[in-house]
Amino acid sequence: MMPFLLAQFANLEQLLPLYVCCVGSHAQKHLARPEGYPAHQIFLSRGGHGRFQINGQLELRLSPGTILILPADTPHEYYPDHDEESWELGFVAFRGYAAEPLLLQIDDLIINAVAANNFDGLWDQLKSLWYLISQNGEHAYWESSKKMYNMMLSILEGQSVFKKAGKDDSPSRQANAALQTAVQLMHEHYNERLALANVARSAGYSVQHFHRLFVEQFGTTPQQYILQLRMRKSMELLQEHSGITIEKIAEIVGMDTSYFIRMFKRTFGKTPKQYLLSH
């Protein structure tokens, strides 16, 4: 077992494209997160059996050798399948501005229990991450960022040989392709006044159906996804242009200045001005 480790980054979060928030493995007990977890999570089921309830509706069963990826802020709870059975569950939580583009590449695995033929390799990568975080030094966090990226690449590499747990592929693939079209539109026009109806139309769905599929796929609403794009771009502007004004950044990302400041603080824990003063 790898006891739970919480990473302490010393203000490296804004530099690292991917960073580990916590990592570990243990005999899993019942855990409920009605508001979700504020980072993306990868779960590796190594021994025993357990169940995940997603959004109070979808139920997924994890057996030995399966993997589950949950986007940030996805409401869920999980517990051993049988009280008398020990469920060994490994996990790593991660964030960073490169996280969402990587998740888009493995969309078939999002919120889905999948048998991984390269499970042992993924578990070794999890152990390597745990060891680095346990060192608790700046070099370790840079190295753990690289290893987190390598782990995501390993998942992407093995995607073609992952076997979905009892789902019909065809409708899923069609929905994923349509959602990718909508996501591309968001990335290209995030700084404009994107009407949800137009985004839904680009995917070929009604607004209601598109909203439901998007939340199921990405664990967040289309509006929140666009907001995250704007926040990530604003952080890049702050880091790359030292003399830029807050008003100019708000204009570039297509937001009212006061609303931009409020959302920036909610996202990063500081106002843009406070962030500049601390760096």
* CATH code, domain with 239: 1.10.10.60
Q: What is the mean pLDDT of residues 45-61?
A: 87
Domain identity same for 94 and 190: no
Please check the confidence at residue 255 and state whether its pLDDT lies above 90: yes
Q: What is the mean pLDDT of residues 165-190?
A: 68
- CATH no. for residue 129? 2.60.120.280
| pLDDT band at residue 11 using 50, 70 and 90 as cut-offs | low
DSSP string, 29-98: --EEETT--SSEEEEEEEES-EEEEETTTEEEEE-TTEEEEE-TT--EEEEESSTTS--EEEEEEEE-TT
Please name the residues in contact with 49: beta carbons below 8 A apart, sequence gap of 6 or more. Answer: 61, 62, 63, 64, 80, 81, 82, 85, 87
Range with the lowest mean pLDDT among 93-107, 156-170, 233-247?
156-170
Eight-state DSSP code of residue 117: T
Please check the confidence at residue 162 and state whether its pLDDT lies above 60: no
What pLDDT is recorded for position 204? 85
The predicted model scores a pTM of 0.59
Average pLDDT, the chain: 83
Q: Report d(CA 210, CA 200) in Å as an integer.
A: 6
Q: Report d(CA 106, CA 102) in Å as an integer.
A: 7
Domain identity same for 141 and 240: no
Q: Report d(CA 102, CA 152) in Å as an integer.
A: 7
Structural domain tally of the chain? 3
Q: 222-240 vs 169-189: helix axis angle to the nearest 10?
A: 40
| pLDDT band at residue 275 using 50, 70 and 90 as cut-offs | confident
The three-state secondary structure class of 278 is coil
pLDDT digit string, tens, across residues 66-90: 999 998 888 899 999 876 678 999 9
| pLDDT band at residue 156 using 50, 70 and 90 as cut-offs | confident
Bigger pLDDT: 212 or 157? Answer: 212
Domain identity same for 263 and 198: no
Q: Report d(CA 149, CA 126) in Å as an integer.
A: 12
Among 122, 140, 164, give the residue marking a domain's end.
164
Domain identity same for 75 and 127: yes
Among 164, 180, 195, give the residue marking a domain's end.
164
Please check the confidence at residue 92 and state whether its pLDDT lies above 70: yes
Among 194, 219, 244, give the residue marking a domain's end.
219
pLDDT digit string, tens, across residues 179-227: 888 888 888 888 988 888 888 888 888 888 888 888 877 778 888 889 9
Question: How far separated are the first and last CA of the chain, in Å rounded?
Answer: 38
The three-state secondary structure class of 27 is strand
| pLDDT band at residue 166 using 50, 70 and 90 as cut-offs | very low
Domain identity same for 153 and 176: no
Domain identity same for 97 and 184: no
What pLDDT is recorded for position 170? 44
Q: Which domain holds residue 237?
A: 225-277
Contact 51, 78 (CB under 8 A): yes
Return the percentage of the chain with pLDDT > 90, whole number: 27
Domain identity same for 37 and 150: yes
Order of strands across the sheet that contains 114-115:
2-6, 19-27, 88-95, 40-47, 66-70, 114-115, 163-164
Domain identity same for 154 and 252: no
Q: Among 145, 142, 136, 149, which residue's Cα sits nearest to residue 6?
A: 136
